[in-house]
């Protein structure tokens, strides 16, 4: 058992970063289409630092 780590942090060890970012981008595009975020035209959802 991984004590001291959040479940999300443990899951990220098994997920390719590119695939994760692709999923996040797809979800953000869906949210923008539905209109759940105000001011989505200027919303930046880049995860690359």
- The continuous run of DSSP H or E covering 36 comes out as none
* pLDDT score for 45: 54
Q: Could you tell me the CA-to-CA distances from 27 to 24, 33, 39, 45 in Å, in that order?
A: 5, 10, 16, 10
* pLDDT score for 44: 55
38 vs 18, more confident: 18
* pLDDT score for 28: 87
Domain boundaries, the chain: 7-36
> pLDDT, tens digit, for every residue of 29-40?
888 777 765 554
* pLDDT score for 47: 55
């Amino acid at each position: 058992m991984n004590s001291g780590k959040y479940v999300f942090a443990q899951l990220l060890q098994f997920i390719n970063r590119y695939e994760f970012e692709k999923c996040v981008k797809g979800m953000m595009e869906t949210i923008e289409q539905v209109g759940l975020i105000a001011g989505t035209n200027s919303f930046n959802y880049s995860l690359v630092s």
